[in-house]
Amino acid sequence: MLELHITTTNDDGFGVANHEGTRVLVAGGLPGESLVAKITYVGRRETFANIVKPLKTSPDRTPSPTCKMGKACDGCGLTQMRYPAQLAWKKSLVARQIHKFPSLFEVTVHDTIGSPKELGYRNTAKLVVAGKNNDPVIGIYRRNTHDVLEIEDCALHHPLINKVVKAAKAGIKKGKVQIYNPKSEMGLLRYLVVRVAEPSNQVMVVFVTTEESYNEMHHLAKFIQQAVPEVAVVAQNINNSTGNVIFGHKDRSITKAQTLKAFIGDMRFNLSPHSFFQVNSGAARLIYGKVREYARLTGKERVIDVYCGIGGISLFLADRAREVVGIEFVDAAVADATANAALNEAKNCRFEAGDAAHLIDEIGEEGGADLIVLNPPRKGCDEKVLKSVAAISPARIIYVSCSPETLARDLDILFRLGYKTLEVQPVDMFPQTVHVEDVALLEKA
């Protein structure tokens, strides 16, 4: 037990204290707080602790935490903060990363735009199934372990996800469904994937199993549908690999319906079991709206949407552009994007699958682009992609990022390639967590 004073928070949301020259990271600690903490782990570089008793609390601390599992689950690093303080924290996180680079010293980082929902916003959950069929556990891995932490009433999940999880547990018990054990590599059910389409509130459930086992999955599906009538689509994915990748290559539909229809703003999307879709539909609409604002399209422009996924940003720009070309590495995503363009009658959108840098070069030879949108995964863009983008010489670039660190790195590279970042707009896609999305606007220098 130690008495500690929290001086700041790190990028993972831990309160930072110094005790006799040792840096101690306190889960849930806020700057300015004094507290009694219990050491939980001593590492070579860092020591971790949990709060036992507060002695002096921060005005930014929320009086009633939304979740009782804060000490066990580290999925929500900011849940102890009042929401306005979370938004301010995320702005400072982004500004800190951006202003590390001399080329970005003068970039304006705006106040974080809050999510329309602070809780219950996650429309998708990918959960591990563990334990035994008479006592199943459905949840997430604890950080750096293979221990599964049960999540039955997650405050971030859409309420229908929590209903499905409870029904699945009851159905596993009743049907005596064998649960996969990664140590023995025996058993059937590995993961439960649940997706809610808004605003219809229809639900898709995907069982990830080691083999087909038609009868067991059919009965489990029927049980869940009876318990949660909103479940419209049930599918099965076969994954007999030994790694931690969730989905395998073989799919089977259990219900006649195979897709859900979801909306972001006025745009309709067909969602299949493998479709990538923003987990916070309300915040996604804010991000897409900010991209459309920064694009300043007049109807004459050619737009390239790199890492386009199922075409969300492309569709939001289509009605104001002459042509939109989406690029994505995953064939299935391009098929989804093409179908979504047809669904929304966006005839000036087309999508191509392949290596981003190669396709950008090809499209550039066809006639260049006036605007390029980049929306890469967390690792950011390969430098060769950024060089290909700069070679086309668009007037503007919009960069949408889920990692302030890789965003700052790539904006610095683009500066050296002739593009100046004007402003960065953080948007809170993931309230209660340390994650933040950003939309950056760049112009050719």
160's torsion region: left (phi>0), alpha (psi -120 to 50) or beta? alpha
123 annotated as belonging to a binding site for a ligand: no
62's torsion region: left (phi>0), alpha (psi -120 to 50) or beta? beta
Asked if 395 contacts 418 with a C-beta cutoff of 8 angstroms, the reply is no
375 annotated as belonging to a binding site for a ligand: yes
423 annotated as belonging to a binding site for a ligand: no
106's torsion region: left (phi>0), alpha (psi -120 to 50) or beta? alpha
Other beta carbons within 10 Å of 239: 19
> What is d(CA 322, CA 299) in angstroms, rounded to the nearest whole number?
5
**Which candidate in 154, 308, 349, 402 is catalytic?**
402
Question: 172 Cβ partners below 8 Å, 6+ apart?
Answer: 129, 133, 136, 179, 189, 220
Distances (CA, A) of 179 to 45, 138, 216: 38, 11, 12
Tokens of 255: 């219900």
Q: If you search the block for the tokens 């479709």, which residue do you land on?
A: 275
Q: What is the dihedral of CA 209, 210, 211, 216, to 10 degrees?
A: -40
Tokens of 427: 């948007």
User: What does residue 2 show for φ and ψ, rounded to 5 degrees?
Assistant: -130, 150
Which amino acid is residue 341, in one-letter code? A
328 annotated as belonging to a binding site for a ligand: yes
Angle between the N-to-C axes of helices 159-175 and 214-227, in degrees from 0 to 180, rounded to the nearest 10: 130
Which amino acid is residue 12, in one-letter code? D
- End-to-end, the C-alpha distance of the chain in Å comes to 56
Whether residue 308 lies in the annotated active site: no
Q: If you search the block for the tokens 């929590």, which residue do you land on?
A: 162
The alpha-carbon radius of gyration of the chain (Å, integer) is 23
Q: List active site positions.
A: 402
Residue ranges of the annotated binding site for S-adenosyl-L-methionine are 278, 307, 328, 375
